Amino acid sequence: MYKILIADDHPLFREAIHNVISDGFPGSEIMETADLDSALAMTLENDDLDLILLDLNMPGMHGLNGLINLRNEAPTIPVVIVSAEQDKQIVLQAITYGAVGFITKSSPRAQMTDAIQQILNGNVYLPPDIIRSQKTSSHRSHSDHHGFPQELLQALTRKQLLVLERMTKGESNKQIAYSLDIAETTVKAHVSAILRKLNVHNRVQAILSAGDIDFAAYLRR
């Protein structure tokens, strides 16, 4: 079904994620490695890989440098970071450097399966608890440098604000369409407009930067 490489130096976690993939995606071919050098070699030998699950802290990685090297060597193969790290800025950097998702090792089995499915479907995945864990006081300024300038947010229509709010809760386009009672194609159009107006490259950058917005204040205007 799928061909997936698990790159992690912890045997127990490799076994756990192997079982998640075997149960959730029967028939998939699963490869394993425990360091960056062998991950690079296996990637170059298998250009038909559907996904690489990459640990941030295994030998040879040197933080996000390993991700950059892997993306340079195999730019067409999707890479998702699987890590115990939950720092919001590291997550944002990983997405900026080309990862298509970020899965925390503490994720429940069902959430991990859903995350992998979303990524294999071509979506970018970010667990909502990363956003929530980094929220600060709601009194924080709207123009804070970690978020969006107020004038950019004011350029969004009411419907786009509602879509963005749902995005920050980790909802997929299908879930947003159901929640707001609109077509999924309409949601996709709103998401494209939101990314353009907020000057971000992808959904996850929008979600991370919008995590501290007081949506109620903007929706009351």
For the chain, give the mean pLDDT: 87
> What radius of gyration do the chain's Cα atoms show?
18
| Mean pLDDT, rounded, for 1-14 | 96
> Could you tell me the pLDDT band of residue 3, with boundaries at 50, 70 and 90?
very high
pLDDT in tens, 148-191: 888 888 899 999 999 999 888 777 788 889 999 999 899 999 99
Burial of 60 (0-12, 13-18, 19+ CB in 10 A): middle
CA angle 111, 64, 173 (to 5 degrees): 35
pLDDT value, residue 132: 59
pLDDT value, residue 29: 97
Q: Which domains does the chain have, with CATH numbers?
A: 3-132 (3.40.50.2300), 138-219 (3.40.50.2300)
Measure Cα distances from 64 to 12, 54, 55, 76, 166 in Å: 23, 10, 10, 18, 29
pLDDT in tens, 184-215: 899 999 999 999 999 988 787 788 778 678 88
In 3D space, the residue among 86, 144, 133, 104 whose CA is nearest the CA of residue 17 turns out to be: 104
- Are 20 and 116 within 8 A, CB to CB? yes
Residue 164, number of CB atoms within 10 A of its CB: 25
Q: Which residue has the tokens 């229509």?
A: 157
Element (H, E) at 212: none
In 3D space, the residue among 30, 74, 81, 87 whose CA is nearest the CA of residue 57 turns out to be: 81
pLDDT in tens, 97-156: 889 899 999 999 999 999 999 899 887 888 766 655 554 433 444 334 346 888 888 899
pLDDT value, residue 46: 96
pLDDT in tens, 22-45: 999 999 999 999 999 999 999 999
> Could you tell me the pLDDT band of residue 11, with boundaries at 50, 70 and 90?
very high
User: Residue 168: helix, strand or coil by DSSP?
Assistant: helix
In 3D space, the residue among 120, 105, 95 whose CA is nearest the CA of residue 24 turns out to be: 120
pLDDT in tens, 65-86: 999 999 999 988 999 999 998 8
53 phi and psi angles, rounded to 5 deg: -100, 110
- Are 13 and 56 within 8 A, CB to CB? no
